[in-house]
């Protein structure tokens, strides 16, 4: 990517790049001239995406297959970038999943993995790559949160909403810390987005009952995220309906909000697809 007096090709590292919003974000960064580092567990999908962006946009695409549920993964990613002499200018923390079902009925190892992937790894990757960005006075970080982070947690999403709320607040704080470093940090808060996320979570049948007007496509969400981080917006909630929902959650009496959320049993009744 070259802008103004900057003649340097920049590199974006995207976690959870094999599908969904992560894949779309990788495509948008590539379209804007960024080389890519694609990180996920599914090697075949990463290889296919790498070939696609190289053919379409002429950028370099590196892949790294790793599971962020492994506590050692963030440091391994950082060390591998140093070994390959790849300077990361943009970081997209997108990897994530949900653990459906009542909290009391789930396996702790699954919940522990959610915290590792969606809280600890996000914070650690920002902590590892952020200082270099600040020192070079250029950095772009997108932390994929959710509209759920602005709402009370629904049944069956006990730690999901909590993790996303953490990501939002952390991103806001990092944005303020780096306000004079040309390092922009944005929490991306999509609502319902077409992807395979709900197939894996096991609530696709319930999700299909929702009105189509509330759904957005991944490419639109990704483009809005890219524009937001480039403009230095700490938080972006995608879509007018989602912004209205978040506003109501702040303004309505919390007793009423909790009563409304109590009706949402989609995740509690979901049956996750086998990995």
Question: pLDDT 10s digit of each residue in the chain, 275 long?
Answer: 544 334 478 999 999 999 999 999 999 999 999 999 999 999 999 999 999 999 999 999 999 999 999 999 999 999 999 999 999 999 999 999 988 888 999 999 999 999 999 999 999 999 999 999 999 999 999 999 999 898 887 777 889 999 999 999 999 999 999 999 999 999 999 988 765 554 444 444 554 555 566 667 889 999 999 999 999 999 999 988 887 888 877 777 777 666 666 666 555 455 544 33
Q: Is 192 helix (H, G, I), strand (E, B) or coil?
A: coil
CB-CB contact of 103 with 97 (8 Å): no
Q: What DSSP element (H or E) covers 28? A: helix 20-31
> 41 to each of 15, 18, 67, 160, how far by Cα in Å?
9, 8, 6, 20
Q: DSSP character for 183?
A: E
Please state, in angstroms and rounded to a whole number, the distance separating the CA atoms of residues 109 and 30. 36
Nearest of 124, 112, 117, 77 to residue 97 by alpha carbon: 117
Q: Are 183 and 233 contacting, i.e. CB atoms less than 8 angstroms apart?
A: no
Q: In sequence order, what are the residues at sequence separation of 6 or more whose Cβ sits closer than 8 angstroms to the Cβ of residue 107?
A: none
pLDDT given at position 254: 75
As annotated, the active-site residues are 160
Q: For residue 2, count CB atoms less than 10 angstroms from its CB and return exposed for 0-12, middle for 13-18, buried for 19 or more.
A: exposed
Report the chain's terminal Cα–Cα distance, integer Å. Answer: 37
CATH architecture observed for domain 11-261: 3-Layer(aba) Sandwich (3.40)
Whether this model's pTM surpasses 0.95: no
CB 121 within 8 A of CB 73: yes
pLDDT number for residue 88: 98
- The residues, ordered by sequence, that sit 6+ positions from 214 with a Cβ below 8 Å of its Cβ are 191, 192, 241, 242
- Dihedrals φ, ψ of 61, to 5°? -140, 115
**DSSP sequence for 3-24:** BTTB-PPPEEEEETTTSHHHHH
DSSP 55-123: HHH---EEEEE--TTSTTHHHHHHHHHHHTT----EEEE-------S-GGGS-HHHHHHHHIIIIIHHH
Of 14, 16, 109, 100, give the one whose Cα is nearest residue 71: 109
Instruction: Give the pLDDT confidence score for residue 201 in this predicted structure.
Output: 45
Give the domain ranges of the chain: 11-261
């Amino acid at each position: 990517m070259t802008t103004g007096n900057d003649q340097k090709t920049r590199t974006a590292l995207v976690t959870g790049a094999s599908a969904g919003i992560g894949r779309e974000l990788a495509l948008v960064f590539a379209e804007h001239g960024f080389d890519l580092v694609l990180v996920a567990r599914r090697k075949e999908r990463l290889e296919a995406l790498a070939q696609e962006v190289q053919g379409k946009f002429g950028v370099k695409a590196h892949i790294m297959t790793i599971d962020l549920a492994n506590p050692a993964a963030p440091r391994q990613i950082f060390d591998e970038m140093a070994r390959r002499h790849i300077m990361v200018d943009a970081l997209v923390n997108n990897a994530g999943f949900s653990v459906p079902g009542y909290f009391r009925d789930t396996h702790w190892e699954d919940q522990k993995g959610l915290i590792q992937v969606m809280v600890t790894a996000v914070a650690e990757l920002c902590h590892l790559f952020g200082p270099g960005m600040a020192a070079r006075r250029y950095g772009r970080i997108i932390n994929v949160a959710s509209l759920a982070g602005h709402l009370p947690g629904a049944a069956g999403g006990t730690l999901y909403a909590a993790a996303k709320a953490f990501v939002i607040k952390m991103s806001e704080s990092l944005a303020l810390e780096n306000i004079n470093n040309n390092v922009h940090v944005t929490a991306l808060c999509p609502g319902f987005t077409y992807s395979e996320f709900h197939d894996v979570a096991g609530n696709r049948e319930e999700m299909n009952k929702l009105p189509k007007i509330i759904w957005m496509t991944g490419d639109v969400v990704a483009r809005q995220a890219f524009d937001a981080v480039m403009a230095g917006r700490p938080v972006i909630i995608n879509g007018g309906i989602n912004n209205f929902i978040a506003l109501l959650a702040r303004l309505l009496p919390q007793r009423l909000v909790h009563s409304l959320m109590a009706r949402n049993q989609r995740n509690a009744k979901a049956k996750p697809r086998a990995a």
